[in-house]
Amino acid sequence: MNYILEARDLRKEYPNKLALQGLNLQIEPGEVFCLLGQNGAGKSTTINLFLGFIAPTSGAAFVNGMEVAANPLKIKEHLAYIPENVMLYPHLTGLENLALFSSLAGFKYKEAELLDYLHHAGLPAEAVRRRVGTYSKGMRQKVGIAIAVAKHAKVLLLDEPTSGLDPKASNEFSQLLTQLSAEGTAVLMATHDIFRAKEVGTRVGIMREGELVDVRPTAALNAQELEQLYLTYMHN
Amino acid sequence: MHSIAQKEFVSTLRDKRFLVLSVLVLALLLAATLVGRASYQTLQQERQLAQQTVNDQFRHQPARHPHRVAHYGSFAFRPRSGLSLLDSGVDSFTGTSVFLEAHQQNSVNFSQAQQSGSLIRFGEMTVAFVLQMLVPLLIIFLCFGAFTQERETGTLKLLLSQGVSLRQVAWGKIWGYSRAVALVVAPALALAAALLFGTEEFTSGADLVGRLVLFVLSYAVYFFLFIVGAVVVSAVQASSRAALVTLLGLWILGCIILPKATANLGATLYPAVTKAQMDADVHEEAQHGINGHDPQDQRSAALKAGLLKKYGVDSEEKLPVSVGGIVMSESEAYSAKVYQQHFADLNATYERQNRLSDWVGLLNPYQAIRPLSMGLAGSDFAHYVHFQQAAEAYRYALVQRLNALQTSMGYGDKERKLDAHTWQQLPLFAYQAPPLGWALPHLLLPVVALLLWAVGLSWLGLRLISNSRLA
C-alpha cells in the first residue's frame, strides 16, 4: 500500500521529556486523520516531525514514500501546514502575504487568482488589501488556510487550524476539508475539538503522554461515544 | 530568495521605526556631505590663495644673494584631495603647510586640530564617520530581529513549510536588507558624486572616478558584513533582545574599544620620538657634517684645499667658483640626509603603529574600512607622507639650485647680489597628488581583510544559520 504519510517507530526524546514514543501511523491519500489529546500529548511533535522541523531521536517519518530526514526540502513540496496561530507579516497585506508564501512554494498566481483563494478561505473582501497587522486572529487563520489551499499539496498538516475561527468559519473550513479530502488530499489534523474531529475525520487517534493509545474510524462512533472514549483515556 | 528579499524590503520601508532612523541617518549623511564640501572649498581656496601669495612673494624678491633667498624660503601648502570631502582622514591632524628653507627640513604645521578646540579629538562629522559608525548601527536596528522575530512570532515555520531552506531565507533577508540600506546611503553618495563631478573646483578625471567607485564598493562590502553578521547573530540567538544586546556589544567592541586599544598598543609597542628629542638628535648629527656658516670649520677648509688642488690654483681668489657655494651645497646634502633619515625613522614608527591597526583589521572590519576609506579618499598617512616627501624634494632641489647659483658667482660672492629677475626663473612648488595606482598597494591589507571577512562570514555564518534551531 502506498501511504502518503507514514511513521515507523517514531520517537522524540528531549533531555527531560519523552515527547513521542514509538509512533506507528499510516495515512492514505484522501484520508482525514484527527489526532486528539491534551496539551503536551505529542500531537504537535508528530506534525513537526513530519515537517522536518525537528529530528527524530529514532525511527523515521515518511512523506509520499520519502524519508523526511533525508529529504527535508523535497517532502515539503507535498505538504501544506496551518499552525494553531497563523502568524503572518504584519507590514504586508493579506494579498501580499498570500502572494509571498505561494511564490515560495513555486506558484506565481495572478492577482485575481489570489483574491479567489482568499475569498474561498472566507476573508472579507475589504480586508485583502489591508495590512495583516490590523487583522484579528480569525482573519489571519483564514489567510493561512488560503496559503495552504493555494499550495495544492497532497497532504495538509493542521495544528489546531480552527483555533480562533468563529463557528461559521469553522464550519466552512470543515466543508473545505471534506472537499479537499474528496479530491485525494490527505489531512493530519491535531485538534482538541472532538466534534470537529468526528465531523471531518475518517479516523481519529487519541494520544496520551507521547503515545498513540487508540485509533478508531469515525464512522464506528458517534460524537458522544468518541467524547466518552477520549475522556476515559484522559482520566486513566 | 527574490520573494523573501522583496518582502524584507517592503516590510522595512513600511516600518515607521526604520523610516525615522533612516531619515535621520540620511539627513546626517547629506549634511556631512554638504559640510564636507563647504569645508573642502574653504580650505582649498585658503590654501590656493596662500600658495599663490607666497609664490608671488618669493618670485618678487629684490636683488639678493642666493643664500639669502634660500633663507627667505617659501611655503608648500598641501592641497586637499577631492574625495577628502567624504573622508578627511588624518588631514585634520597632520598639518597643512611646511616652511621650506635652507639647512633644515621642517615638519608640516598648522593642522586643523592645532587650531581648533579639543572637541575635534572626538572626531568630525564626516560622511565617513556616518558610514563607518552610524550606518552599522542602523543595520543592527534593522536586522537584529531577522530570525528571532520570525521565530518568536511563528512565521519562520510557515515560511519553511513552503519548501525553502534556512540558507535561502537568510540570503533573501540579506539581499532585502541590503536594498533598504542602499536606499538610505545611495542619495548621499549620489550627491557627493554630483558635487565632485558637477562643479568646476574639483579636478575630475579617471583617477577620481576610480577612487569613488572603489570607495563605494568598499563600503558596500563593509555594510554587507554588518548585514550578514546581524542576520547570523539573529539566527543563533534565542531572542530578539539577546540578539540586539549581542550586536550592540560587538559594535561597541569593534567600533570603539578595539580601535582605541590598538592605537594605545601601537603607541606603546612603537613609541615615537618627541619633536624636541628629534630636533636635538638631528642637531647633534648635523654637527658631523660641514657647517656652511662657520668659516673656521675644518671640513670646509679641507674642501677648499681640494678645490684649489682640483683647479690648480694657489688661492681662493683664483677659483672660478665660490667656495662658500660649494660648502653650502655639501652642507645641505649632509643635513638633508640626516633629516631624511630621522623623518624616515619617525614615519616608519608611525607606519608600524598604523600597520598594527591594519593587521587588526583582519579581526575587526571597522579597522579595515578606516584605512581603506582614508586611502581611497587620499587623506591617509601615506598620502600625507607623499606630500611631505614632495615638499622636501622641492626644498632640496631649490636650495641646491640656489647654492649652485652662489657657486657660479665665484670668489667674493658674498659682496654681490643676483638680479631680481633671477628668482622668477626658479620653479615653484606644484604638488601632484599620487594616483590611485600608487595608493592601492598601501591598501592591500585592508582590502584583503574586508574580502576575507566577506567570504569567511558568508561561509561560516550561513553554515551556522543552516544548523540553527527553528523554534
Residue type, B51: Q
B295 has a pLDDT exceeding 80? no
Q: For an interface test with A, which of B161, B164, B165, B168 has the most A Cβ atoms less than 10 Å from its Cβ?
A: B161
Q: In chain A, what are the domain boundaries? A: 5-89+154-235
Tell me which residue in B159, B470, B471 faces A104 most closely, judged by beta carbons.
Answer: B159
Average pLDDT for B40-55: 86
Please tell me the predicted confidence (pLDDT) of residue B199: 66
d(CA B267, CA B260): 11
d(CA B107, CA B258): 30
Q: For an interface test with B, which of A12, A63, A89, A98 has the most B Cβ atoms less than 10 Å from its Cβ?
A: A89
Tell me which residue in B11, B161, B470 faces A81 most closely, judged by beta carbons.
Answer: B161
Q: Which CATH number fits domain A5-89+154-235: 3.10.20.30, 3.40.50.720, 3.40.50.300, 1.10.10.10?
A: 3.40.50.300
d(CA B286, CA A10): 89
**Tens digits of per-residue pLDDT, B205-214?**
788 889 989 9
Q: What percent of chain B has pLDDT over 90?
A: 27
Q: Which residue has the cell 556631505?
A: B33
Tell me which residue in B14, B158, B164 faces A83 most closely, judged by beta carbons.
Answer: B158
Greater pLDDT, B241 or B92: B241
Please tell me the predicted confidence (pLDDT) of residue B141: 92
Chain B residues with CB under 8 Å of a chain A CB are 3-4, 6-7, 10-11, 14-15, 153-155, 157-165, 470-471
Q: What is the pTM of this model?
A: 0.85
- How many residues are there in chain B? 471
B107 has a pLDDT exceeding 80? no
B344 has a pLDDT exceeding 90? no
B375 has a pLDDT exceeding 90? yes
What long-range pairs does B116-122 form, CB within 8 A, spacing at least 24? B116/B92, B120/B92
Please tell me the predicted confidence (pLDDT) of residue B418: 83
Tell me which residue in A79, A104, A157 faces B164 most closely, judged by beta carbons.
Answer: A104
d(CA B62, CA B58): 9
Q: Which residue from A minimizes the CA distance to B3?
A: A100
B119 has a pLDDT exceeding 80? no
Q: Which residue from A minimizes the CA distance to B152?
A: A87
Please tell me the predicted confidence (pLDDT) of residue B173: 93
Check: CB of residue A204 under 8 Å from CB of residue A198: yes
Radius of gyration of chain B (CA): 29
Interface of A with B in 30-89 (CB under 8 A): 48, 51, 53-54, 72-73, 76-77, 79-81, 83, 85-89
**Tens digits of per-residue pLDDT, B435-471?**
999 999 999 999 999 999 999 999 998 888 887 766 5
Are A83 and B471 within 8 A, CB to CB?
no
Nearest-neighbour CA in chain B from A220: distance (Å): 34
Tell me which residue in B3, B11, B154 faces A104 most closely, judged by beta carbons.
Answer: B3
Please tell me the predicted confidence (pLDDT) of residue B323: 84
What confidence category does residue B116 fall into, taking pLDDT thresholds of 50, 70 and 90?
A: low
B118 has a pLDDT exceeding 70? no
**Tens digits of per-residue pLDDT, A138-189?**
888 889 889 988 998 889 898 888 777 778 878 888 888 888 889 888 999 9
Nearest-neighbour CA in chain A from B145: distance (Å): 13
Are B163 and A105 within 8 A, CB to CB?
yes
Nearest-neighbour CA in chain A from B385: distance (Å): 53
Which chain B residues are closer than 8 Å to A54 by Cβ?
470-471
Enumerate residues 6+ apart whose C-beta is below 8 A from B264: none
A100 has a pLDDT exceeding 90? yes
Count Cβ atoms below 10 Å from residue A119 Cβ, excluding itself. Answer: 14
Please tell me the predicted confidence (pLDDT) of residue B449: 94
Are B158 and A54 within 8 A, CB to CB?
no
Q: Which residue from A minimizes the CA distance to B168?
A: A104
What is the complex's ipTM, to 2 decimals? 0.87
**A171-185, B239-253, B311-325 — most confident range:** B239-253
Average pLDDT for A73-87: 88
| Chain mean pLDDT for chain B | 85
- H-run or E-run covering A26: strand A17-27
- Ranges A68-77, A145-154, B14-23: which has the least confidence: B14-23
B66 has a pLDDT exceeding 70? yes
What confidence category does residue B396 fall into, taking pLDDT thresholds of 50, 70 and 90?
A: very high
Tell me which residue in B3, B161, B471 faces A103 most closely, judged by beta carbons.
Answer: B3
What confidence category does residue A34 fall into, taking pLDDT thresholds of 50, 70 and 90?
A: very high
Please tell me the predicted confidence (pLDDT) of residue B471: 56
B113 has a pLDDT exceeding 60? no
| Chain mean pLDDT for chain A | 88
B365 has a pLDDT exceeding 90? yes
What confidence category does residue A116 fall into, taking pLDDT thresholds of 50, 70 and 90?
A: very high
Enumerate residues 6+ apart whose C-beta is below 8 A from A9: A22, A23, A24, A58, A59, A60
**Tens digits of per-residue pLDDT, B120-161?**
555 567 889 989 999 999 999 989 998 998 888 888 888 888
Tell me which residue in A48, A81, A91 faces B158 most closely, judged by beta carbons.
Answer: A81
Q: Which residue from B minimizes the CA distance to A104?
A: B162
- Ranges B118-127, B272-281, B284-293, B362-371: which has the least confidence: B118-127
Sheet holding A155-159, edge to edge: A79-82, A155-159, A186-191, A32-37, A203-208, A211-217
d(CA A123, CA A169): 10
Are B162 and A83 within 8 A, CB to CB?
no
Please tell me the predicted confidence (pLDDT) of residue A103: 93
Q: Which residue from A minimizes the CA distance to B14?
A: A91
SS3 category, B335: helix
Nearest-neighbour CA in chain A from B457: distance (Å): 25
